[in-house]
Amino acid sequence: MRMSRIHPRHRPTAGELAMLETATFNELKISGNLPSPKGSVLKVMQLSEHNNVPLPELIAVLNTDPVMIGRLLKVANSAAFLRSRPAVALTPDVLMAIGLNAVYQVALTFALVAEHRRGQCAQFNYDHYWSRALACGTAMQLLGSQQRLAPPGELFTIGMLSSIGQLAMATLHPSAYGELIASHGGPYAPVLTRLETEQFGYHHLDIAGALLRDWGLPKMFCDAVALHEEADFASAGDGTRAARLALCLRLAAQVADLCFLDGEARLHAYETVKKQAERMEIDPSHFPRLCDEVVREWREWNAQLAINTPEVESFTLLERRNSMTPRLPEAEAEQEALHILVVEDEASQRMMLQRLLQLLGHKVEVAADGQEAFDIVLDKRPQLVITDLAMPGLDGLQLIRRLRAIPEGRQLYIIVLTILDDEDNLAEVFSSGADDFISKPIPPRILQARLKAGQRIIQEQRSLRQEQELLRRHLEELSIDNQLAQEAAQTDGLTGLYNRRYAMRYLPQIWDEAKLSQQPLAALMLDIDHFKVVNDEHGHDVGDIILQEFAGILRLFCRRSDIICRFGGEEFLIILPDTRLSTAIQVAERIRATLANRSMVASGLALCLTVSIGVAEKKPAHANVEALIKAADQALYQAKRTGRNRVEAAL
């Protein structure tokens, strides 16, 4: 039996190795210090040179490495692959299900693990490196599968190999690289690429790209690795598959890093990563469960490699605890130090005022004329300005008028210094926008008293702004409460999914949008098999937990744009916008296989359940969304009638 590779291995050209000179890379390769696969994987690589791979010969080569067999079987049995029963041996159908690209890449990856569990770089924590790589691979597989970027096995590989450049640097330069990472925060510090280039003439992304191309990984994977550490590459918005892979890879690396944090640092980082996930259209309400799934898979991989796994709090519990933590306002001192700007053209007076105000505990900026003062207000944002009137260029009155004309100047408290105290001059001073004045020469006690008056006004203005902000928040909360009440009316209270009322109200709108844009639309009707037996034998409490867990599985395999509804009892509906029938069947099979291969734990019981699913795609014959749902429901009935634990598509 022979099978054609989906993607023939790609050999790099000199142009493609432009980031790292070909001669330089060849020298590094000849040195024998670069990470490289050995043993059975070299034979697999030789076999993969051919477009037609003889599967029996490939299986025979893989069977010489029992450890590799175990790791490939774990990949084959993961929820991302469509298997009705666990694989127990490498057979042609197992290899075909995984895909030969994934087989080759997973074998390559774990051959590197076996060869490089230890090394000469004392400051490089090899176990931590591989544990983080496994976390990144697992996160990439789950995130990328949800967004349908590539086959799951290949996503896992690119996640694991995304940091291969750091391992290569530690292998090539154990002493120098060890000193570099020890003094700059480890191998994942953001400044490392610049420092590596300055010291070695290339950096870890150069090495990673050259290695991945040399090992024959697809160009889009190599490009994604090269891009994923760039904080601003997404602003280009090119929308290529490599760019979308890189965005997903960057998020996967951030999720992996969460596994090694604790306390406030973990909470702060989690909130940042969740916002990044939301920008990638991953529903924030599903994100904690997805992270928990990453941790579960990561623990299993660590156990296979005998790597200690740190204790990690459930992200679902972290999210719940964070949402319940009250936010208390910080207490403020009754009298606080002010940020003051002194504007005085006479140097001696300016220095005297600066010193006096600093002795009173205030932070002081100084300016020699009105224009300099105006620029400082825009840049430093002081709270109070003390300005002379008679100055060259922009004088005190002109400065006040300019300040009151801009938002940054309207909140300032302004005190004028003057030797004039007749009514006409004072009237002009106050009409220009000044709040107070002090006559020269300046008595320190009077200055201190006027500053206290200014402090009270500034604090009152702040209190007023805080009250206004509280009022605004209160109005927002009222609006949110109203929105929550509306959501409660269209949300299933047990699972948190949309209910039948929501489906019947909003699905016609989704139907009309798909019809207008001529986009495909698919529907899945799902029913948990023999669920009544669970309620009858174990009680409704157990049944409720099972429904909640099943809802979590549905969220893992659906995009943010997909609509998941609990239609009633143990019956669920999923609407998949912009999705063809073939893709909808794949989604349904993944859901079915996940439930069939996993025990559902509830109240100390481990229950094995299955689900039947009917799938339908919008057709010209369907008059409305109700017709689409009816077609999916009829397919579900067919799945039930022909034995359950099946996916049936409407004809």
- What residues act catalytically? 570
Query: Are residues 633 and 525 in contact, defined by beta-carbon separation less than 8 angstroms?
Result: yes
Q: Residue 106's closest CA among 145, 134, 143, 79?
A: 134
CA dihedral over 332, 333, 335, 339, signed as positive or negative: negative
Containing 452, the helix (H) or strand (E) segment is helix 444-489
Strands 363-367, 339-343: pairing is: parallel
Q: Report CA 446 to chain centroid distance, whole Å.
A: 57
Q: Where are the alpha helices (DSSP H) in 116-147?
A: 126-146
Strands 384-388, 413-418: pairing is: parallel
Which residues does 247 contact at the CB level (< 8 Å), separation at least 6?
228, 234, 280
- How far apart, in whole angstroms, are the C-alpha atoms of residue 335 and residue 354? 20
- How far apart, in whole angstroms, are the C-alpha atoms of residue 309 and residue 302? 7
- How far apart, in whole angstroms, are the C-alpha atoms of residue 157 and residue 217? 10
CA dihedral over 331, 335, 337, 343, signed as positive or negative: positive
Query: Are residues 193 and 180 in contact, defined by beta-carbon separation less than 8 angstroms?
Result: no
- How far apart, in whole angstroms, are the C-alpha atoms of residue 30 and residue 294? 38
Query: Are residues 454 and 415 in contact, defined by beta-carbon separation less than 8 angstroms?
Result: yes
Query: Are residues 440 and 417 in contact, defined by beta-carbon separation less than 8 angstroms?
Result: yes
Q: With left for phi above 0 and alpha for psi between -120 and 50, is residue 518 left, alpha or beta?
A: left
CA distances from 602 to 534, 539, 625 (A): 11, 11, 36
Give the number of other Cβ atoms within 10 Å of residue 276's Cβ. Answer: 15
Q: 310-321 burial, b for 16+ CB within 10 Å, e for fewer? A: eebeebeebbee
